[in-house]
A = this chain, B = another copy of it.
Amino acid sequence: MPAVERTLYHFPLDPASRQARLALGEKRLPFEPVVVRYWEQPAEFGQLNPSGLTPVLLEIEAGRRTVVCEVRPILEYLEEAHPQPELLGADLAQRAETRRLMQWFDRKFDAEVGSYLLHEKLEKRLTKMGAPDLGAMRLGREALRTHLGYVETLLGERDWLAGRRLTLADFAAAAHISVLDYFGDIPWREIPAAKTWYMKLKSRPCFRPLLADRWPGLAPAAHYDDLDF
């Protein structure tokens, strides 16, 4: 097997980057992580991905470079290039359900929760935009409760979010939820099925690097890396 030099450009508290890290970890594909301060729009990163967004996967094999930009393309790429273990599901209907939930978190959850809570708590801090807006945070927290209720309902009926097996839907949800958990925003006591599910995820080897993430000046909630929280 030829040696592949694999690099992931990411930001530790970016839910999209976290999904790529989880998938790479679950498939046991070693990679060098490079942290991108995307809000500073570094020029060399813009040459890799014109949109300026993380994550980006770079693979160099026998001098041939493959650049895969952004989370959905990376996840589909990894499924096609490294099909085992299968993270989308075996049949067409299962894959549709996995992708539906991935879209749910990347589009709906991100727009209704992340764009409020992470913008106020994280992005404003990184870009020195001033104090969080409490009204926006309240809107985000209310939407978060609704979304967590949906997760709780699904996990009352299923072992994993998209069905009987772990899929990228779990990684999508866990990536978004884990960043909010860093800030102590997840009311775990109200969602026991989701808590059990998250404990199972936290104890997987692919999750460990995420639990070790720290960003200067932003301490995580006390239970953030606790496997038995």
Contacts and interface: CB of A to CB of B under 8 A. Distances in A.
28 contacts: A50-B104, A50-B150, A51-B104, A51-B107, A66-B92, A66-B93, A66-B96, A67-B96, A68-B96, A68-B100, A69-B96, A69-B100, A69-B103, A70-B99, A70-B100, A70-B107, A72-B72, A72-B103, A73-B96, A73-B99, A73-B100, A76-B76, A76-B95, A77-B95, A77-B96, A77-B99, A80-B92, A81-B92
Within the oligomer, what is the number of copies of this chain?
A: 2
A184 B53 CA distance: 30
Nearest to A72: B103
Contacts of A37: none
Contacts of A96: 66-69, 73, 77
Given A51-B107, A72-B99, 10 more contacts: A66-B92, A68-B96, A68-B100, A69-B96, A69-B100, A70-B100, A70-B107, A73-B99, A77-B92, A77-B99
Interface string A65-89: 0111110110011001100000000
Contact of A51 (B66, B92, B93, B108): B108
A115 B223 CA distance: 38
Given A50-B150, A72-B72, A150-B50, A80 B95 contact: yes
A168 to B, nearest CB: 12
Nearest to A50: B150
Contacts of A69: 96, 100, 103
